[in-house]
Amino acid sequence: MHRSVSIVTLLLLVLAAADAAAADDWRITTAGYGPVKIGMSVEQAAQALGTKLVAEGPVDDPECHYVRPDPEVEGLWFMVSNDHVVRIEVTAAGITTKSGLGVGDSEDRVKEQLPSVEVMPHKYVAPDGNYLTVWSANHKAAVRFETLQGKVTSFYAGQVPQVKYVEGCS
């Protein structure tokens, strides 16, 4: 009896660890979001998500446009360049980074959670807002938070140069 209880306990611990790992996988990192990795084709990203990715209208510029999941996930957008995901944007609360940070968090909390964050004045709303950027080890990708009056209003992860764009595709 004691051995069967130990096996059941072990199985429950393994399942709990798998659930925790799965939850962490659905967070924004410098590498991507969930199973979607920066650099995947749109088709690969849609397959990884298990859903369609659709544009909001006609794609005028294959060099840069946006797609979203269908059905829609509020505030989640994928920047696409030449049919590859180059940046993932979050504009609503509910999706977070691996550090648990998201829209609505304070700028101070970002700085506390990510001590290596680089702070720069926002191009349009400084001194009331900033860009807070955390770079990958090789500086080829980053997660960037935009703030206004001390609160995160959006954030995105992507490769250079797209992660540095301040007006969507430019």
Exposed/middle/buried for residue 85 (C-beta within 10 Å: 0-12, 13-18, 19+): buried
Q: What is the mean pLDDT of residues 50-63?
A: 88
What φ, ψ does residue 64 adopt, rounded to 5°?
-165, 120
Average pLDDT of the residues in 75-93: 96
The full set of domains in the chain, from first to last, is 2-164 (2.60.460)
56: confidence class by pLDDT, cuts 50, 70, 90: confident
Q: Give the mean model confidence (pLDDT) for residues 12-33.
A: 61
pLDDT score, position 160: 94
Spatial separation of the C-alpha atoms in residues 148 and 131, rounded to whole Å = 9
**Residue 22 predicted with pLDDT over 50:** no
Predicted local confidence at residue 168, as pLDDT: 87
Closest to 122 (Cα-Cα) out of 146, 100, 103:
146
Which residues are paired to 97 by β-bridges?
28
As a whole number, the mean pLDDT across the chain is 87
Over 80: is that where the pLDDT of 114 sits? yes
Residue 60: band (very low, low, confident or very high) from pLDDT cuts 50, 70, 90: confident
- What predicted TM-score, i.e. pTM, was given to this entire model? 0.84
Q: What is the structure's pLDDT at 30?
A: 94
Closest alpha carbon to 38 in 90, 91, 99, 87: 87
Rounded to 5 degrees, what are φ and ψ at 76? Answer: -110, 125
